[in-house]
């Protein structure tokens, strides 16, 4: 993240209490904690944060090669073996604390209002809506996306500048002691508490304990805004602050500064009658769900506290727009890939979006469609100079700028460029053939309505889509990582089209998050990943002799499971003149599928120990029943057998050989058997054997209602006339059938889908491309969304209907079903 202010490395060392050595002439505007997300390297200060499973010090050499010349480190020996002749190093005891201390000092320079937002839900929504409501009156700096953590908050507050007139920052915590540090960094003058929910309860003694920790954000606040219908909040604030704060409350139930007298839903809006200090207020919120209405009321109170007139508040709230909480990756026209982020346009979110684009690791050129960036706190000249540097560093090939301001700064940019005064002018001039085989990032401020551009460039195909939540996948990855010791390596299974989720997109995400290995079923899957730019080691779990030459060419590592496959692979290595090639030995300890058995071990050792064509990278086996407690004795027997056999092999070799036997269920249920490595499969995709509540749903299969018709009783629906109607029925036709992976066994009421929050049954036989559902008791219209499975109706429920397992559901979703990838 970048500040408008320039700091010398000497001043930074003084502010954080660090010892400086090396080049003392370096000047800093940008802070970084992630070697993969780097902005303005020559002006960046990299903090080598040390985490449980990563150490930023290990990336110093790579960052130096990318142009970074300033580092905050906690290990002086980290740079002894690195040739960094013109770099500056600041040595501190704790790099995270140093980052926070630096930004605390930076925050002290500014006296304008700062709104600090916390709570269990709604923090980002309230922050973004406040920005929407206030950005015409104030130049605002705010957290990009949901940067509310111990590193996200300081990176956000670093963006404060003298040109801004207000700050809006959110803060989230997951354990005791975190909020005091964030409170010192943000130092809000106005506090907003959104809602007290159950997120992160596991690290607190209870709801009250978590609440007391959260409200520590408000220690510097003059006013605190919250809903008094959650009585714990008011009690906790009274205990913590007494009468020292100006508490501003709203309520549906009790007397408050703002009382909701009535609510009426009409035409997709909620009409509110409010009472404020005995005055009647009427406002209209352009949403009908309770959470959105609550968040809008908090915003109303916040604007009141800033003395914005009722007339302006009422007018502005009617303009509130949904917050795009996700970056979507979609298939575009002419073999293009689209990344949609057309509701946000600021430096921080631009950097995040460009990092996601780079994460795709494709050989496609990158085109950025960018609108004017509004209310940045910078002059246009400074702002677009920073944007130009960012685009150069992120290797953007082409920029299409839309808006008067960016067009006026056209000479700043070195890549291919074209500029348009408005979205209308761009669309009028658009030739779809000018976009071919490229990655297009669409990044626009709300007033430019870039969704119109996205609609034109998006490939229009099947209305049935599989949405893949990449943020949820990362959450699940981190959950399983939290169960591992820091030294345990991680293999992630991406076979079978990544369990139906898509291969290259998922593999690139996992590579970005530095898993140790990927595993595929057959060589062709591995070749596809290599062609997509995946470089980390890939294991082929079911190698076939005819593919060995291809595997060697593409650096794919085979599972070796019997003597003949071992001999065939050795022949291939000799034929290609290759030596010291890694292989993975599979042992059959009870699954009775592929693998060597005990009688094979002696010959196996003799074959490999003196052979210079390959070496054993790992030895592994597969658990047959780790997900069911009834098989625990058998699982323990498998683990013991594996340990015994693998040690018999390892004793023949002077080098280290990794061992692994745990799958997803095993990671959760048998942590003592982690050995050197584990294999994560279905757990990554949101299915757990024991702790489903710890995981997030990743995949949602959705479609729409194509047609609705009234069918009289005693008629039939579908092939074979199997849908016998007992009463007049409202039938909906949806464009999904067994060719899409919607199993024909779901016919005739066995299967159910979700329409507008209600479960409705399938009527008649599922067809190849369509199915019929009963909408008699649902308020639905043509074009409404239908969920086959998703967040509110998990794939495991569909599996129960079919008496099968989630694996089968996910892997049978047809490739003709369009995958849409999004990142929160």
Instruction: Please list the helix, strand and coil fractions of the chain in percent, rounded to the nearest 5, in that order.
Output: 35, 25, 40
Cα angle 314, 316, 317; round to 5: 65
C-alpha pair distances (Å), 604 with each of 561, 563, 573, 599, 659 = 10, 7, 17, 10, 16
Q: How far, in Å, CA of 675 to CA of 144, rounded?
A: 40
Task: Choose, from 719, 745, 807, 818, the residue flagged as catalytic.
Answer: 719
C-alpha pair distances (Å), 278 with each of 225, 303, 617, 824 = 19, 18, 76, 41
Q: How far, in Å, CA of 653 to CA of 676, rounded?
A: 17
CA dihedral 349→354→356→357, nearest 10 degrees, is 150
Return the sign of the alpha-carbon dihedral for residues 158, 317, 264, 755. negative
Task: Choose, from 245, 281, 495, 659, the residue flagged as catalytic.
Answer: 495
Q: Is 384 a catalytic residue?
A: no
Buried b (16+ CB within 10 A) or exposed e, 342-380: bbbbbbbbbbbbbbbbbbbbbebbbbbbbbbbbbbbbeb
SS3 186: helix
Q: How far, in Å, CA of 744 to CA of 637, rounded?
A: 40
Q: Is 593 annotated as a binding residue?
A: yes
SS3 637: helix
Residue closest to 506 by CA, chosen among 681, 668, 703, 342: 681
Contact 149, 172 (CB under 8 A): yes
Residue 226's Cβ-count burial label (10 Å; 0-12, 13-18, 19+) is buried
Return the sign of the alpha-carbon dihedral for residues 402, 403, 406, 411. positive
Cα angle 454, 456, 458; round to 5: 65
| Tokens found for residue 596 | 């060597």
| Tokens found for residue 250 | 């709203």
Q: What region, left, alpha or beta, does residue 378 occupy, with left being phi > 0 and alpha being psi -120 to 50 degrees?
A: beta
Contact 36, 66 (CB under 8 A): no
At a CB cut-off of 8 Å and minimum separation 6, what does 402 contact? 369, 370, 371, 372, 419, 420, 421, 422, 423, 426, 444, 448, 450
Q: Is 69 annotated as a binding residue?
A: no
Residue 771's Cβ-count burial label (10 Å; 0-12, 13-18, 19+) is buried
Q: How many CB atoms lie within 10 A of CB 149?
A: 17
C-alpha pair distances (Å), 157 with each of 1, 60, 116, 138 = 9, 25, 11, 17
Q: Is 793 a catalytic residue?
A: no
Mode of pairing for the β-strands spanning 818-823 and 785-789: unpaired
Residue closest to 367 by CA, chosen among 428, 445, 453: 453
Cα distance between the two ends of the chain:
19
In DSSP terms, 441 is beta-bridged to 339, 368
Buried b (16+ CB within 10 A) or exposed e, 89-114: bbbbeebbebbbbbbbebbeebeebb
Residue closest to 642 by CA, chosen among 617, 622, 618: 622
Residue closest to 465 by CA, chosen among 226, 704, 184, 764: 704
List residues with catalytic annotation.
495, 719
Which residues participate in the annotated binding site for substrate?
Answer: 593, 768
Annotated binding site: 593, 768
């Amino acid at each position: 993240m970048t500040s408008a202010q320039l700091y010398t490395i000497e001043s930074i060392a003084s502010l954080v209490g660090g010892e400086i050595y090396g080049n003392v002439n370096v000047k800093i505007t940008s802070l970084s904690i992630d070697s993969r997300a780097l902005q303005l390297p020559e002006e960046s200060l990299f903090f080598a944060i040390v985490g449980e499973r990563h150490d930023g010090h290990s990336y110093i050499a790579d960052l130096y090669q990318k142009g970074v010349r300033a580092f905050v480190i906690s290990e002086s020996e980290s740079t002894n073996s690195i040739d960094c002749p013109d770099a500056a190093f600041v040595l501190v005891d704790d790099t995270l604390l140093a980052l926070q201390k630096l930004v605390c000092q930076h925050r002290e320079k500014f006296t304008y209002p700062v709104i600090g937002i916390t709570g269990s839900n709604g923090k980002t929504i309230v922050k973004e809506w406040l920005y929407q409501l206030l950005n015409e009156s104030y130049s605002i700096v705010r957290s990009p996306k949901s940067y509310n953590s111990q590193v996200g908050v300081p990176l956000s507050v670093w963006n404060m500048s003298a040109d801004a007139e207000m700050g809006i920052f959110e803060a989230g915590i997951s354990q005791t002691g975190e909020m005091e540090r964030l409170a010192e960094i943000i130092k809000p003058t106005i506090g907003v508490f959104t809602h007290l929910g159950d997120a992160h309860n596991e690290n607190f003694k209870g709801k009250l304990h978590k609440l007391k920790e959260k409200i520590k954000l408000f220690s510097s606040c003059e006013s605190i805004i919250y809903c008094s219908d959650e009585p714990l909040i008011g009690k906790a604030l009274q205990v913590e602050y007494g009468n020292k704060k100006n508490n501003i409350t709203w309520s549906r139930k009790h007397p408050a500064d703002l009382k909701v007298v009535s609510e009426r839903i009409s035409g997709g809006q909620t009409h509110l009658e409010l009472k404020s200090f005995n005055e009647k207020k009427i406002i209209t919120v352009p949403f009908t769900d309770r959470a959105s209405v609550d968040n809008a009321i908090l915003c109303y109170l916040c604007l009141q506290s800033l003395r914005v007139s009722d007339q302006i508040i009422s007018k502005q709230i009617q303009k509130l727009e949904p917050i795009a909480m996700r970056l979507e990756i979609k298939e575009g026209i002419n073999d293009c890939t689209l990344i949609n982020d057309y509701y946000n346009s600021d430096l921080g979110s631009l950097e995040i979006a460009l990092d996601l684009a780079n994460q795709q690791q494709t050989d496609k050129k990158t085109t950025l469609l960018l609108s004017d960036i509004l209310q940045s706190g910078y002059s246009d000249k400074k702002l677009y100079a920073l944007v130009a540097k960012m685009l150069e560093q992120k290797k953007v090939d082409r920029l299409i700028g839309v808006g008067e301001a960016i067009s006026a700064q056209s000479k700043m940019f070195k890549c291919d460029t074209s500029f348009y005064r408005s979205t209308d002018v761009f669309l009028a001039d658009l030739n779809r053939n000018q976009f071919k085989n490229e990655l297009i990032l669409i990044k626009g401020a709300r007033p430019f309505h870039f969704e119109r551009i996205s609609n034109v460039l998006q490939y229009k195909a099947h209305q049935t889509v599989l949405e893949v939540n990449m943020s949820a996948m990362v959450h699940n990855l981190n959950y399983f990582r939290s169960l591992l010791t820091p030294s345990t390596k991680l293999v992630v299974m991406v076979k079978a089209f990544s369990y139906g989720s898509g291969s290259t997109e998922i593999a690139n995400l996992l590579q970005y998050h530095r898993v140790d290995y990927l595993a595929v079923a057959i060589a062709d899957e591995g070749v596809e990943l290599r062609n997509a730019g995946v470089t980390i080691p890939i294991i082929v779990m079911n190698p076939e002799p005819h593919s060995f030459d291809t595997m060697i060419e593409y650096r794919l590592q085979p599972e070796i499971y019997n003597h003949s496959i071992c001999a065939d692979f050795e022949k291939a290595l000799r034929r290609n003149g290759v030596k010291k090639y890694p292989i993975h030995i599979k042992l059959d300890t009870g699954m009775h599928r592929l693998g060597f058995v005990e009688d094979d071990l002696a010959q196996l050792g003799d074959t490999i120990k003196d052979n210079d064509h390959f070496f054993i990278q790992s030895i592994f086996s597969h658990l047959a029943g780790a997900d069911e407690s009834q098989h625990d004795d058998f699982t323990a027997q498998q683990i013991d057998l594996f340990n015994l056999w693998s040690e018999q092999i390892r004793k023949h070799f002077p080098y280290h050989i990794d061992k692994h036997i745990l799958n997803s269920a095993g990671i959760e249920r048998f942590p003592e058997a982690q050995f050197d490595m584990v294999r994560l499969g279905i757990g990554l995709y949101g299915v757990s054997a024991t702790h489903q509540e710890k995981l997030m749903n990743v995949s949602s299969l959705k479609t729409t209602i194509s047609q609705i018709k009234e069918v009289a009783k005693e008629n039939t629906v579908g092939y074979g006339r199997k849908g016998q109607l007992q009463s007049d029925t409202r039938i909906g036709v949806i464009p999904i059938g067994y060719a899409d992976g919607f199993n024909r066994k779901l016919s005739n009421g066995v299967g159910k889908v979700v329409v507008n929050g209600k479960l409705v049954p399938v009527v008649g036989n599922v067809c190849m491309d369509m199915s019929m559902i009963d909408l008699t008791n649902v308020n639905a219209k043509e074009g409404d969304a239908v969920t086959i499975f998703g967040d509110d109706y998990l794939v495991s429920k569909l599996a129960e209907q079919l008496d099968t397992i989630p694996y089968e559901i996910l892997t049978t979703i047809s490739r003709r079903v369009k995958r849409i990838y999004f990142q929160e």
